[in-house]
Amino acid sequence: AQSVTQLGSHVSVSEGALVLLRCNYSSSVPPYLFWYVQYPNQGLQLLLKYTSAATLVKGINGFEAEFKKSETSFHLTKPSAHMSDAAEYFCAVRSNTGNQFYFGTGTSLTVIP
């Protein structure tokens, strides 16, 4: 079975500091991995996705993630946090045998001015 684990349910960074949100996956075959962001009272918005084309994936709003097979990780980073980045972030893996997605428990990002 496929799953993702997000380490740290709450992360706080200062404005302008590096953002690092952690995600580890469990999959016996190369996975399809995603990062989504959710702002208060809204649905999930796709940030980026990994589909084996390149290990470093660039997404919207300056975010990027690197797929590391040896570490079974897909951590999300942004060089400089902005106040508008404060939100909930979800890592997800898509099943290889269907269209079912498995989401992590989410990481709430707080940006301190």
Partner 1 sequence: KAGVTQTPRYLIKTRGQQVTLSCSPISGHRSVSWYQQTPGQGLQFLFEYFSETQRNKGNFPGRFSGRQFSNSRSEMNVSTLELGDSALYLCASSLVQGGQDTQYFGPGTRLTVL
Binding site for partner 1 (CB under 8 A): 32, 34, 36, 41-46, 49, 51, 90, 94, 96, 98-106
**How do strand 44-50 and strand 19-26 relate by DSSP bridges?**
unpaired
Q: Between 17 and 103, whose beta carbon lies closer to partner 1?
A: 103
Contact status, residue 85 vs residue 61, Cβ threshold 8 Å: yes
Instruction: Give first-to-last CA distance, the chain, whole Å.
Output: 41
In the complex, least distance from residue 76 CB atom to partner 1, rounded to whole angstroms: 16
Q: Between 84 and 97, whose beta carbon lies closer to partner 1?
A: 97
Q: Between 40 and 113, whose beta carbon lies closer to partner 1?
A: 40
Kindly give, in sequence order, each residue whose CB lies less than 8 Å from that of residue 43, ignoring residues fewer than 6 positions away: none
In the complex, least distance from residue 66 CB atom to partner 1, rounded to whole angstroms: 19
In eight-state DSSP terms, residue 72 is T
